[in-house]
Chain A
Amino acid sequence: MSEILERPMSTTTAAATPLVKVRDLSVRFVSRDATMHAVNGVDIDLAAGEVLCILGESGSGKSVTLRALMKLLPKYARVTGGIEVAGRDVQAMNEGQLQDFRGSDVAMIFQEPMTALDPVFTIGQQIAETVVRHEGSSRAAGMARALELLELVQIPSAKRRLEAYPHELSGGLRQRAMIAVALACKPKLLLADEPTTALDATVQIQVLLLLRKLQEQLGMGVIFVTHDLGVAGEIADRVAVMYAGRVVEEGPVAAMMKAPLHPYPRGLLGATVHGGMRGQRLTTIPGAPPSLETLPTACSFAPRCELAEPACLAGVPPPNSPMPGRSARCILVPNLP
């Protein structure tokens, strides 16, 4: 087994403290003529070695939530709430601390690998540079690690590919190279923003299986954003469904896929075309999500919900938990102690 896999997990943040603890995260984008309430009170808990998928409609705040975890949002974003990753207070970090934090504690991969790769350096140089910067090792050691990483992400002829520039690689190989760069310093937490969405079906499943394998081998925590229920089915331990900047349902993937609690994921599941639905009328969710220019003060799903009643407009439904490990922001879901 390769050297990178033998390095033990740092044990300072053992199971006692969760890897990620987000409390009441809110993000507003304020400009002269409008305010966008992108994220409105999100809680996230992630244990070391756990995979959480964030699902949700376009604009529901998935990417903004992910970026907040790395403090990657633009200056004009107003971020409130608590963000703790690997026992560190992300909000309180200064630039120097962030530099060290990004890469060694947490790394991120994207849908479009060219946003993460530098076009003027070879793949080998980019990985080696990250290793040298974070671990103070020699250039030669950095290059050796780079080769090991390219082999780890199953890039064929890895040795030759060290010399390749990003544009010389196919889509699937580029995605793998980006994963290799992200894993260079063995982060405890990997943030993935739709990393397989742009890939072909036969390549997407290769990259998904690779990510799952690496996650297990390295014991990484992963937060994986997707709008594809199938992708969540392949990779998630737990799922959080976002709607209008809030997590409306959260729970283990199997239970969620089988019987969602909240009317929105229930509608989503019914509207998702899968095999054997030929000739059937598809269930739809009428209407569209709300604009987030004003902060929703009631259940945001109410205008589209067929179960809506006056009580749904009284306030934002709290996360009710009918059984351990599952919760939904819907007044029809019982909250059992």
Chain B
Amino acid sequence: MTCTSSFVDRGGPAQPLLLLTGLKKHFPIRGGLFGSTVATVRAVDGVSFNVRKGETLGIVGESGCGKSTTARLLMRLMDPDAGSMVFDGEAVGQHVATGGITLKEYRRQVQMVFQDSYASLNPRLPIEESIAFAPKVHGVSPSEARARAHEILAAVGLAPATFARRYPHELSGGQRQRVNIARALALQPRLILLDEPVSALDKSVEAQVLNLLVDLKEKFGLTYVFISHDLNVVQYISDRVLVMYLGQVVEQGPVEAIYDRPAHPYTRALLASRPSMDPATRRTEPPLTGDPPNPINPPSGCRFRTRCPFAEDVCAAREPVQTDMGGGHEAACHMAEPGSGHSQAGRLAA
């Protein structure tokens, strides 16, 4: 197979593939007569994490918490207002001479798959053309690009003889999402960002696409960042999980730690909110009351304090910092931080 990644693993397996520090993205809301900025949406507000080589990192959190904005920043579809990104040891968007990687080269190694399988494909192009398009832009000859497109179509389970000349409207939702995945693979990337890739699919089709993603990762040595609001799917597919709330990371760690021993009160409530498939274990009280607040005016201190049953004065006064509870399991809560001033400080051990 010629599709195996052609990129060298520069820093070795221990060096993170992507290292993000203090990422911020604020959106101004304009209004008034002169279109002046009347408010700011703090969509991503100081986010730091690593993506390790060969892992699947799941990102969960409620609507508007900044998952997609984080993905768009990772993809460099937009520039961060602050923060740094280092890709396999090279600073993203800086000169090669100073040890950086250009945006053009970075964008080749990082690809993205979105939820809406229809909107992301050109309706007037047969799917083999859609898949071959980016490689041609990057200088691959048309015949070679086409051959590669057929190879990838076969890899995502769409027989090229049947499907290569079809148009997007001639495909089912699941088939279209396979085409989107094929298109992301066409440039032989190292990292694929999957933003709700199965959310628009029926359950029976979702399972097909999840199996496919697992196979492709193995086959091409890929690394995934997998965003979803479906906590069961994230548990199934991820090695590590990041939990976001109102533009910030509140907890991260290995998937077993997050699901078996969630530390942050928000993570606990989120996991406890999953409907149970067993009518015998129905609950009577919801784990949380209220809606997530607006990211325009996030609460001071801990952003979860307006809904947190353990909130104390210190939670309004000071922002909690990420505290390591062992084994790479971190939570940003005053109860996890020894000596924070919370009456239960330090009690949240892993």
Residues of A within 8 A of B (CB): 57-58, 156, 170-173, 200-206, 208-209, 227-231, 233-234, 236, 253-254, 257, 267-268, 271-275, 277-278, 281-286, 288
Whether A278 and B235, one on each chain, are in contact in the complex, defined by CB atoms closer than 8 angstroms, is yes
- A200, A202, A231, A275: the one contacting B259 at CB < 8 Å is A275
Q: Are A202 and B287 in contact (CB under 8 A)?
A: yes
Tell whether, in the assembled complex, residue A253 and residue B273 are in contact, meaning their CB atoms are under 8 Å apart: no
**Chain A residues with CB under 8 A of B174:** 288
Q: Which residues of A contact B208 (CB under 8 A)?
A: 284, 286
Quick check: B233 and A273 within 8 Å, CB to CB? Answer: yes
- B residues less than 8 Å from A58 (CB atoms): 173, 202
User: Taking the complex as formed, is B313 at the interface, i.e. its CB lies under 8 A from any CB of chain A?
Assistant: no
A233→B204 contact, CB < 8 A:
no
- Among the stretches B40-48, B179-187, B278-286, the one at the interface with A is B278-286
Q: Is B231 close to A, CB under 8 A? A: yes
Min CB–CB distance B292 → chain A (angstroms)? 7
A243 to chain B, nearest CB (A): 10
List 8 additional A-B contacts (Cβ < 8 Å) besides A205-B275, A275-B232, A284-B204. Answer: A171-B63, A200-B229, A201-B273, A203-B62, A205-B287, A229-B277, A271-B207, A285-B204
Q: Using an 8 Å CB-CB cutoff, how does the interface string of B202-244 with A read, 1 for contact, 0 for none? A: 1111111011000000000000000001111101100000000
Known contacts A257-B277, A257-B278: does B288 contact A202 (CB below 8 Å)?
A: yes
Q: Is the CB of A233 within 8 A of B203?
A: no
In the complex, what residues of A have CB within 8 A of residue B280's CB? 254
Are A254 and B279 interface neighbours, CB within 8 A? Answer: yes
How distant is the Cα of A118 from the Cα of B206 in the complex, in angstroms?
36
Choose among B204, B231, B270, B291 the residue with the greatest number of A CB atoms under 10 Å from its CB: B204
Known contacts A171-B291, A202-B62, A284-B207, A57 near B202 by CB under 8 Å: yes
Contact check, B291 vs A201: say whether CB atoms are below 8 A apart: no
Measured CB to CB, the closest approach of chain B to A208, in angstroms, equals: 7
Q: Give Cα A204 to B173, complex, Å.
A: 25
Give min CB distance, B326 to chain A, whole Å. Answer: 21
Q: Tell me which residues across on chain B come within 8 A of A170, comparing CB atoms.
A: 291
Point out the residues of chain B lying under 8 angstroms from A209, CB to CB.
283-286
**A228 vs B232: C-alpha distance when bound (angstroms):** 12
Q: List 11 A-B contacts (CB under 8 A).
A: A201-B273, A202-B288, A202-B292, A209-B283, A230-B275, A233-B276, A272-B207, A272-B277, A282-B236, A288-B174, A288-B205
B74 contacts the other chain (Cβ, under 8 Å)?
A: no
- Contact at B203–A231, with CB atoms within 8 Å? no
Q: What chain A residues lie within 8 Å of B278 (beta carbons)?
A: 233, 254, 257
Contacts A278-B235, A282-B210 given; does A230 touch B276 at CB 8 Å: yes
Q: Which residue of B lies closest to A172 (CB)?
A: B291
Of chain B, the residue at the smallest CB distance from A280 is B236
CA distance in complex: A170, B63 (Å): 12
A229 to chain B, nearest CB (A): 5
> Are B275 and A208 in contact, with the CB atoms below 8 A?
yes
Bound Cα distance A56, B7 (Å): 44
Min CB distance A124 to B, Å, is 20
Contact in complex: A205, B286 (CB < 8 Å): yes
B255: Cβ under 8 A from any A Cβ: yes
Q: Which residues on the A side are within 8 Å of B94 (C-beta)?
A: none
What's the least CB distance linking B160 to chain A, in Å? Answer: 19
Roughly how many angstroms separate A58 CA and B117 CA in the complex, as a whole number?
Answer: 15
A279 to B84, CA, bound (A): 34
Q: Is B274 an interface residue (CB 8 A)?
A: yes
Taking the closest CB of chain B, its distance from the CB of A160, in whole angstroms, is 15
Of all chain B residues, which has the CB nearest A283?
B207
Q: Which one of B62, B280, B283, B287 has the greatest number of beta carbons of chain A within 10 Å? A: B62
Q: A200-B62, A254-B280, A282-B211 are in contact. Are A231 and B275 (CB under 8 A)?
A: yes
The 5 closest A-B pairs by CB, nearest first: A230-B275, A271-B207, A200-B62, A285-B204, A282-B207
Given contacts A202-B273, A203-B291, A282-B211, contact A253 B204 (CB under 8 A): no
How many Å lie between the Cα of A285 and that of B276 in the bound state?
23
Contacts of B173 in A (CB 8 A): 58
How far does the Cβ of A163 sit from chain B's closest Cβ, in whole Å? Answer: 19
In whole angstroms, how far apart are the Cα atoms of A283 and B210 in the complex? Answer: 10
Q: Closest residue to B236 on the A side, CB-wise?
A: A273
Tell me which residues across on chain A come within 8 A of B284, comparing CB atoms. 209
Instruction: Indicate if B289 sits at the interface (CB-CB under 8 A).
Output: yes
- Inter-chain contact B273/A273, CB cutoff 8 Å: no
Interface centre among B270, B275, B278 (most CB of A within 10 A): B275
**Contact status A205-B277, CB under 8 Å:** no
Tell me which residues from 83 to 123 in chain B have a Cβ below 8 Å from any Cβ of chain A: none
Interface residues of B in 169-183 (CB under 8 A from A): 172-175
CB distance from B130 to the nearest CB of A (A): 20
Contacts of B285 in A (CB 8 A): 209
CB atoms of A201 and B277 under 8 A apart: no
B104 nearest CB across to chain A (Å):
37
Judge whether B275 and A253 touch: CB under 8 Å.
Answer: no
* Interface assignment of B269: CB less than 8 Å from any CB of chain A: yes
Instruction: Name the residue on A nearest B256 (C-beta).
Output: A278
| B207:A234 contact, CB within 8 angstroms | no
Bound CA–CA A272/B208 (angstroms): 11
Let me know if B276 and A227 touch, CB within 8 A.
no
Q: Nearest Cβ distance between residue B184 and chain A, in whole angstroms?
A: 21
| B203, A201: Cβ atoms closer than 8 Å | no
With A and B bound together, what is the CA distance between A231 and B283 in angstroms?
12
The one of B172, B269, B270 that contacts A288, using a Cβ cutoff of 8 Å: B172
Q: Which single residue of chain A is at the shortest CB-CB distance from B284?
A: A209
State A253–B282 Cα separation when bound (angstroms): 12
Is B207 touching A204 in the complex (CB atoms < 8 A)?
Answer: no
Contact status A268-B277, CB under 8 Å? no
